[in-house]
A and B are shown apart, each in its own frame.
Chain A
Amino acid sequence: MVDFHGWSMPINYGSQITEHNEVRESCGIFDVSHMTILDFHGEDSELFIRKLIANDVKKLKQNFEGLYSAMLNDNGGVIDDLIAYRLESGYRLVVNCATRGEDLKWISTKVKDYEVEMIERDDLSMVAIQGPKSSEVLSKCPAPIVRALESKKKQQGVFGNNMFATKTGYTGEIGFEVILPHDQAINLWKNAVEAGAAPIGLGARDTLRLEAGMNLYGFEMNESISPYECNMSWTVDLKDEKRSFFGKESLLKQASEEQHQELVGLILEDRTILRQGQKLQFESSADLEGIVTSGTYSPTLKKPIALARIPKTTEQICFAEVRGKKVFAKIGTPRFIKEGQFIFKEKT
């Protein structure tokens, strides 16, 4: 068990690699109650959320549907990444635990100008059930909500019996996340484990999200990184020209300039893991330098992989010096595995 920003959490319940493989091949269950849940109600709630985040909640067509977004500061740097859900009245944001303090500080100062009430839902737990067999596991749990979820598409959700269930996740596999009162969470956990879900710790949560090419706050992004530099361009919605959001002006300026850095994926054939902060170099462009944002051993590929922020370049290979040895890596898309399949594309 480790202290994770005030929460006592397991890195692994047994073997991290076994847990990782359970999720890719079968079904795993995660206690992610450390995530911060914020509800926004009141007549200005839509107006406020559209101002607060870079993606546009206007495009959420259904209640309980969610979208991924960045919350930016005035310089266009990422304060946090989050999922925004439409509620029957109002919106729900699920933000990171590590950034809770900074987020609350930022949102509290901004919300004052609106007819909006913000409520932190520390009365709720959050459980993720992920993997190719997650539907099968959920169907064995005595919760009628599950049947309603069956017909839903990715990112959509349902609400009933105090359970807020959505087809979302942080693993690259099909799966569900359920937000519910603590006592019901314990029951869901017990039922899911009985139905075959393996408990998964923080260690495998990290290797799964890395293989899936999903960002982790403080690694791929921070307050001085623009969404354009961390593979989040697709979450910035500029379609509605009349909509203003924090950081927009700065982003528009950046968009008209040349982007200098991008997030890429790396695969190594050497038996060396590149860790966060590792400097990257290029053989034929000695003046360029990149940095590893996250690196791990990929249990699915059985090779070291990494996410890295590098200057825009035509180079297809980069190298790092680790313990006095030159280690080479292939550069490609910042995603490796989706629903069990290898999807990494090498740079050509």
Chain B
Amino acid sequence: MSITNEIRYLASHEWGRIDDEGILTVGISDHAQDLLGDIVFVELPDIGKTLEAEEESAIVESVKAASDVYSPLSGEVIEVNEKLLDEPEIVNDSPYEEGWFFKIRLDGSSEFENLMTEEEYTNSCEE
């Protein structure tokens, strides 16, 4: 059972959006891109790589600092957003749509429902 198009979060500011085929699209939150400032480089995982939940999977570098991007859940990388390599500023402009990082096919070993809801995430940012 999955809920189509629902977005959930990690406390480390990644979001995951699940579709009804068990594919999770991953990106960083609007709050994260705002904290980072202008993003200048993005490094993406290799297609075919298996990621564990909360494993370092990509890197986002801004004018201020480089940060790891963690995979919210475990699964195999099936697609990456190569557009970000040449136009990383897309992450600043559209963190939830155009600025997604990669997609994984979930292997079922970790549960989408265990991730933070929008409300839980927003509260954790305010703490």
A residues near B, CB below 8 A?
11-12, 15-17, 203, 207, 271-273, 275, 296-297, 323
**Contact segment of B35-43, B75-83, B119-127:** B35-43
A15 to B40, CA, bound (A): 12
Inter-chain contact B41/A15, CB cutoff 8 Å: no
Inter-chain contact A323/B63, CB cutoff 8 Å: no
Interface of B is mostly: mixed
Please judge, given known A-B contacts A207-B63, A296-B63, A297-B63, whether A273 and B37 are in contact too, CB under 8 Å: no
Inter-chain contact B41/A16, CB cutoff 8 Å: no
Interface of A is mostly: loop
Q: Considering only CB atoms, which chain B residue lies closest to A204 in the complex? A: B63
Inter-chain contact A273/B38, CB cutoff 8 Å: no
A11: contacting residue among B37, B40, B85, CB under 8 A: B37
Q: Considering only CB atoms, which chain B residue lies closest to A297 in the complex? A: B40
Query: Does any Cβ of A come within 8 Å of B115's Cβ?
Result: no
Inter-chain contact B37/A203, CB cutoff 8 Å: yes
Q: Pull 6 A–B residue pairs with CB atoms less than 8 Å apart, ordered by A.
A: A11-B37, A16-B38, A16-B63, A272-B61, A275-B65, A297-B41
Q: Considering only CB atoms, which chain B residue lies closest to A271 in the complex? A: B41
Please give, as numbers and ranges, the residues of chain B lying within 8 Å of A272 by CB-CB distance.
41, 61, 66
Please judge, given known A-B contacts A273-B61, A323-B59, whether A15 and B38 are in contact too, CB under 8 Å: yes
A12 to B59, CA, bound (A): 23
Please judge, given known A-B contacts A11-B37, A203-B37, whether A273 and B66 are in contact too, CB under 8 Å: yes
Please give, as numbers and ranges, the residues of chain B lying within 8 Å of A273 by CB-CB distance.
40-41, 61, 66
Inter-chain contact A271/B43, CB cutoff 8 Å: yes
Q: Considering only CB atoms, which chain B residue lies closest to A206 in the complex? A: B63
